[in-house]
Amino acid sequence: MASGARGGRHGPAAPQAARWARDGVLRGRSVSTVTARWPLEALDVAGLRRSGVRAVPFRQFVLKVHSLCNLACSYCYVYEGADNSWRDRPSAVPAEVVRRTAARIAEHSAAHGLTSLQVNLHGGEPLLAGVETLVGYVTAVREAVGAGCRVDASVQTNGTLLTEARVRRLADAGIGIGVSVDGGTPWLNRHRVNHAGRSSWAAVSAGLDVLRRHPEAYAGILSVIDPDSDPVEVYTSLTALHPPSMDLLLPHANWAHPPAGTGPHPYADWLIQVFDLWFDSPGQPVPIRLFREIIGLLLGLDGGAEAVGNSPMVAVVVDTDGAIEQVDSLKTAYEGAPATGRDVFRHSFDDVLDHPGVVARQLGRQALAPECLVCPLAAVCGGGNYAHRYRADEGFLNPSVYCADLERLIRHIAGRVRRAADLGTPLGAINNR
């Protein structure tokens, strides 16, 4: 981790960065600075391919089914971010986009011999499209790829439109339901309001009550961290909702738009309180993805999260107009940041694999900033979420704006894991918290 967090220093060049600079693979980049917006203007994809760097096929397809939302969350990266492309897209996904997307996924699956893949239905609020649209989209993909490839499907919803009939229909179709909620009280969800500025909690709570009666469909909870919320209250109120899993998300921010928390590492301080509660809880606690990923990486296992680690990005987005894009979190950087210029009508997913933004996210450690390359935590941190590295006029070849928070959190978790191991706790038991 680059010492010093936000606005941190530049460390000495690492051997890999020096070799790439010498070989000209990173055009326009000196050993310690970026002189062009990286990666769009400064990553030599052809040179990387000639050097033997191969693309990793997509395995996670985020399919937009509706571009509007019935909530107006203050931190929403789709509607409150720098990119406003949602304004020019169909509100509901047309049938032809569904057909072409399913065919393109099948094409990609066959070309790479995939035996499983994920389909995640997103919005806006996806249930605004109607439950049959969701079921139809997943059915189209499953029929297109055939029996040789398993399709694990889910929908991410704000929970306000969940009813007994809708949950049962999705469950019967084999579609898991994830809910975005920031805690188990109205106050903890104060940023999640409707367009009149009123709390959404009553509707969300009712939807969660329905979902808890269908554990076969309950996929988990996503929560955005607010350092002004009591971490103990957030954790205990979320676990009271009995989710099968949870993830705690840093608010999307970058060097151009820094996070709101004050102090040297407010998000780490918040997360450490939750981690200690979780790690010390008796029995088997609800899995929290961020914590489990960090523990696994500390133990030398492969990661699979966007927030930490160096695993190649294998997710791709198809919007309601058929545009193929990078992940939505990039919308916080600048107008058009997720765009690839490709769509399901004229391009295959293989065409997208050579887009500089996609290539950069599949390079892992080799695409980290020089100061990250020499950091002893690089294998665990992985530079943090890619979207959090953006700096205006430079691009994404920077440490995370949450650098100090990530360093403090990882070091704390490493210390707890080390002490548990010293006391005789098997590493397998530690990893399976």
User: What DSSP state is assigned to residue 321?
Assistant: T
Closest CA to 326 of 56, 61, 41, 44: 61
**101: how many CB neighbours lie within 10 A of its CB?**
27
Task: Please state the rounded mean pLDDT for residues 355-365.
Answer: 96
Q: In which element (H, E) is residue 249 found?
A: strand 246-249
What pLDDT is attached to residue 202?
Answer: 98
Is 358 within 8 Å of 368 (Cβ atoms)? no
Tens of pLDDT, residues 206-261: 999 999 999 999 999 999 999 999 999 999 999 999 999 999 999 999 999 999 99
pTM score, whole prediction:
0.91
Rounded Cα gap, residues 383 and 2, in angstroms: 9
User: What DSSP state is assigned to residue 28?
Assistant: T
Is 101 within 8 Å of 324 (Cβ atoms)? no
Q: Is 110 exposed, middle or buried (0-12, 13-18, 19+ CB in 10 A)?
A: middle
pLDDT for residue 411 is more than 50: yes
Tens of pLDDT, residues 96-125: 999 999 999 999 999 999 999 999 999 999
Query: In order of start, what are the domains of the chain with their CATH numbers?
Result: 60-250+307-352 (3.20.20.70)
Q: Which residues contact 405 (CB under 8 A, 6 or more apart)?
A: 5, 250, 265, 266, 267, 268, 271
